[in-house]
Amino acid sequence: MSKKNILLFGYGNHGKYIAQGLISDGFSVQVIEGNEDFYKHALEDGFKDALHIDVTKDELLHALKPDSYDQLVCVMDDEHLNVFLTLSLRSLYADTYILAISDSIHATKKLQMAGANKVIDMYEVSANKIHNILNRPVATQLLEEFVTHENGIGFREYIIPDGSFLHQRMTDDIDLSNYGILLVGLIDEELGNNFTFITAGINHKLDSGDTIVCIGKKEKLDAFEMIIKEAKEKR
C-alpha cells in the first residue's frame, strides 16, 4: 500500500507537530511555509524539501500541483492567511480535499465558508482530551498529581448554590479570568446531568444545583471555592 501524499501549508505552532505526527504515521509530507523562520525550523527538523513561498500568489500555488496530492492541509499560524489560502486553493482546485485547522469558532465558520472539506477546531480537540481524562478516575488522579507537582494546575468541581452570582447566568456571558481560573464545562440538570464543554458552541443557562468544572492554579481554585461557599452561607 502506497503512502498518502500530504501537502501541508504551515510549520508554526500547530503545523510543526502535525507534520511530524503525519510522518510518524507513515504519510509522505511536503511542507510549504511563508514565514522564513518557520521555514528554517522545518529544514532543521528534517524536511529538506520544504519550500518557502508566498502563498497569496496563485501562480506559485499552481506550480505546486496541489491536485496531485491526496490531501491539502492548511494550518498557517495567521488565521486570516489560513482562510485566504483555503479560499484560493478551493477556487483553483474544486475537487481537491482540503483539511484546515482552526483556533476559534469564528475561524472555523470562515474556513467552512472558504471551502474546506473538514475543519478541525483545536479548542474542541483539547476539550475532548480533557473530557476523556475526566471520564477516567485513575488517569485524572495521576494527572492531578503530576500537574500539582509541576506547577499547581488542577481541575475543580463547584456546585452552584442558591443565591450565587452564577445563578441564571449564560455561559457566554461568564468570564472567570478575573479569578485566575478557566471554566471548562458544566453538568446541567436540565440536560440530563450530561457533561458539556463550553467549547461545544451552545450557550447554556446556569442554575443553582448545576456543577461547573474549572481549571487553574490551586490557590486560585481555593479562593474561588471560598467565594462559592460565602454565597451559600448568605442564603
Which domains does the chain possess? 5-125 (3.40.50.720), 136-233 (3.30.70.1450)
The CA dihedral of 199, 205, 209, 215, to the nearest 10 degrees, is: 30
Q: What is the mean pLDDT of residues 181-190?
A: 75
Residue type at 170 in one-letter notation: M
| Integer-rounded Cα radius of gyration of the chain | 22
pTM comes to 0.56
Whether 154 contacts 218, CB under 8 Å: yes
Q: What is the pLDDT of residue 108?
A: 87
pLDDT band at 206 (very low <50, low <70, confident <90, very high): confident
Residue 177 CB contacts under 8 Å (≥ 6 apart), including other chains: none
Q: What is the pLDDT of residue 122?
A: 75
* CA 153/CA 180 separation, integer angstroms: 11
Residue 200 CB contacts under 8 Å (≥ 6 apart), including other chains: 124, 127
What percent of the chain stands above pLDDT 90? 38
pLDDT band at 194 (very low <50, low <70, confident <90, very high): low
* CA 73/CA 6 separation, integer angstroms: 7
Q: Where are the alpha helices (DSSP H) in 64-181?
A: 79-92, 105-114, 122-134, 137-150
* CA 25/CA 61 separation, integer angstroms: 26
Q: What is the pLDDT of residue 67?
A: 93
3-state secondary structure of 44: helix
Q: What is the pLDDT of residue 138?
A: 43
pLDDT band at 1 (very low <50, low <70, confident <90, very high): very low
